[in-house]
Amino acid sequence: MKIVVVGTGYVGLVTGACLAEVGTEVICIDVNKEKIANLQKGILPIYEPGLDVIVERNYKKGRLRFSTNIEEAIKGAQIAFIAVGTPPGEDGSADLKYVLQVADQVGTYMDGYLIVVTKSTVPVGTASKVKKTIKAALEKRNAALEFDVASNPEFLKEGAAVDDFLKPDRIVIGVENEKAKSLLRQLYEPFVLNGHPVLFMDIPSAEMTKYAANAMLATKISFMNEIANLCERVGANVNEVRNGIGSDPRIGNRFIYPGIGYGGSCFPKDVKALIRTAREYEYNMRILQSVEDVNDDQKKVMFEKIKKHYNGDIAGKTFCIWGLSFKPQTDDMREAPSLVLIDALHEAGAKVQAYDPVAMNEAEHLLHGKASLKKDETAAAENADAIILVTEWPEFRLPDWDSIIKKMKGRVMFDGRNIYNNEEMKRLGFIYHGIGKET
Ligand code: NAD
Ligand code: UGA
């Protein structure tokens, strides 16, 4: 089977590499020439644990190739995945410009039966737009070629993307006929040897499943953030409450960790897009609108705690920030809570010193000098009045407290992810502020 994956970003590269890993011949396409040239030299555009090894292995075996030439790649292919970005437009809806550009190119260059699969997160109705676009391109060149469209949304998480792809909880595929179903079942067979299901359904349901999944997860987080905020006010500890509710299997103990808001390239954009889709159909998604509002406020919660601690007197103080990426194990800083916090501290006249294990290059582009970037967590703490734990990288769990404390000016810890124990922090001499628990 010859597979083409168009768009070699987080999803495209992981999809291409993992499909090659099980023996499929894959060619990954991107318009970004530098990205493709780097991949051909073995340089990956993103930090994603385990991805480098499988890219290198499959590239060397010749099963995984990288190119900017979609015309050449599409010829002779059986399946083409569209994995380009769907960023939010001004009104919050998903911008389908890149998806439809690819559909047009596919229709222009295909030379035989092809299944065109949208892997990008796209609103209901997109597959039928893709179909129309391909048809129009075929008509333009008077080509009577057969093709099918399908929807195969991706559920991987950054930082665990390879594992999620190789051992998925489920694979969702929207199809219109048996031919596409049987070819896609064959393609995914090696990934469900663990007994997890391939769920075939109609295309609109598959497209909606992706948004519903992300919206449900975002809802769990915003809900817990509200419970945490209330815990603080009534004198309860959200860690205990989380354990208390999470042990009920109907609720479950995953994705109920409070913090300083969800970030990343997907939850914020997908929640917005689903609200927007509903509006187009004159339906008001009240819960989701609140999920978004709560999250916007939660990103400011830590700054409010800092202001309260210093009675509003933040100007001239030095803050050490640990972790900048939107979550651990990634260098992705899209919609990261760290950006909102650093903006607020900078605006208030504070000095910010920051360190992240892998997102320093990204941070340099995005922070425009609002924080000085340090080589490690100890250097970032030098002369600091307080430490703010923003991203729970494992290396921040047991840092070299002795050296850190010696370098600091003050001793206050603002723990945005509740990774420290209040008692231990107090023993080290810190005034401790967590999320959803008394200090
Ligand atoms: P990304 O920005 O990392 O990658 C997109 C790539 O597409 C870029 O390299 C870009 O150059 C390329 N591209 C754009 N137009 C192109 C064209 N016409 N031809 C070829 N290449 C083109 O994006 P991503 O994070 O991989 O997300 C892609 C889609 O997958 C989005 O819809 C996103 O919502 C969805 N998704 C993302 C994740 C995630 O964790 N990042 C998870 C599940 C689903
Ligand atoms: C999320 C989903 O988990 C994936 O299933 C989905 O495929 C992906 O979006 C997507 O559509 O792109 P991702 O954004 O990579 O994956 O990362 P998550 O682990 O979901 O974390 C998202 C945000 O929620 C992070 O900022 C994280 O800190 C926050 N979070 C997560 C919490 O605040 N509490 C939690 O309990 C879990």
**pLDDT by residue (tens digit) across 85-141?**
999 999 999 999 999 999 999 999 999 999 999 999 999 999 999 999 999 999 999
- Residue 55, in any domain of the structure: yes
430 is in an annotated binding site: no
> Both 188 and 269 in a single domain?
no
Q: Which ligand is nearest to the CA of 94?
A: 1
Distance 69 CA to ligand 2 centre (A): 33
* Ligand 2 neighbourhood includes 165 CB (under 6 angstroms): no
pLDDT given for residue 439 in this prediction: 55
> Both 350 and 403 in a single domain?
yes
- Residue 226, in any domain of the structure: no
**pLDDT by residue (tens digit) across 28-76?**
999 999 999 999 999 999 999 999 999 999 999 999 999 999 999 999 9
> Both 122 and 256 in a single domain?
no
- Residue 217, in any domain of the structure: no
> Has 320 been annotated as catalytic?
no
> Both 10 and 81 in a single domain?
yes
Q: Give the Å distances, CA to CA, from 82 to 64, 98, 101, 299, 400.
A: 17, 9, 10, 33, 46
* Ligand 1 neighbourhood includes 7 CB (under 6 angstroms): yes
What is the distance between the alpha carbons of residues 378 and 359, in angstroms, rounded to a whole number? 17
Domain span holding position 348:
237-439
Distance 408 CA to ligand 2 centre (A): 33
What's the pLDDT band for 172 if we cut at 50, 70, 90? very high
Q: Which ligand is nearest to the CA of 393?
A: 2
pLDDT higher than threshold 80 for residue 249 = yes
CATH code (residue 114)? 3.40.50.720
- Residue 218, in any domain of the structure: no
What is the distance between the alpha carbons of residues 121 and 115, in angstroms, rounded to a whole number? 18
Distance 396 CA to ligand 1 centre (A): 30
> Both 159 and 13 in a single domain?
yes
> Both 178 and 242 in a single domain?
no
Question: How many domains, the chain?
Answer: 2
Q: Give the Å distances, CA to CA, from 228 to 222, 243, 312.
A: 10, 13, 23
Ligand 2 pocket test, pick from 158, 254, 270 with the greatest ligand atom count within 8 Å of Cβ, gives 158
pLDDT given for residue 195 in this prediction: 87
Q: Stretch 276-280: mean pLDDT, rounded? A: 96
What's the pLDDT band for 1 if we cut at 50, 70, 90? confident
Ligand 2 pocket test, pick from 11, 245, 267 with the greatest ligand atom count within 8 Å of Cβ, gives 267
> Both 77 and 142 in a single domain?
yes
Distance 291 CA to ligand 2 centre (A): 14
What's the length of the chain? 439
- Residue 348, in any domain of the structure: yes
Index of the ligand 2 atom closest to the CA of residue 392: 28
What is the distance between the alpha carbons of residues 135 and 132, in angstroms, rounded to a whole number? 5
- Residue 225, in any domain of the structure: no
> Both 242 and 197 in a single domain?
no
Among candidate residues 201, 225, 245, the one where a domain is terminated: 201
> Both 179 and 282 in a single domain?
no
> Both 194 and 250 in a single domain?
no
354 exposed, middle or buried (CB, 10 Å; 0-12, 13-18, 19+)? buried
Angle formed by the axes of helices 337-347 and 360-367, nearest 10° = 40
Q: Exactly one of 18, 231, 266, 320 is catalytic; name it.
A: 266
Rounded to the nearest angstrom, the gap between the alpha carbon of residue 138 and the centroid of all alpha carbons in its chain is 35
**pLDDT by residue (tens digit) across 208-240?**
999 999 999 999 999 999 999 999 999 999 999
247 exposed, middle or buried (CB, 10 Å; 0-12, 13-18, 19+)? exposed
- Residue 369, in any domain of the structure: yes
> Both 251 and 369 in a single domain?
yes
- Residue 210, in any domain of the structure: no
155 is in an annotated binding site: yes
pLDDT higher than threshold 80 for residue 269 = yes
> Both 183 and 264 in a single domain?
no
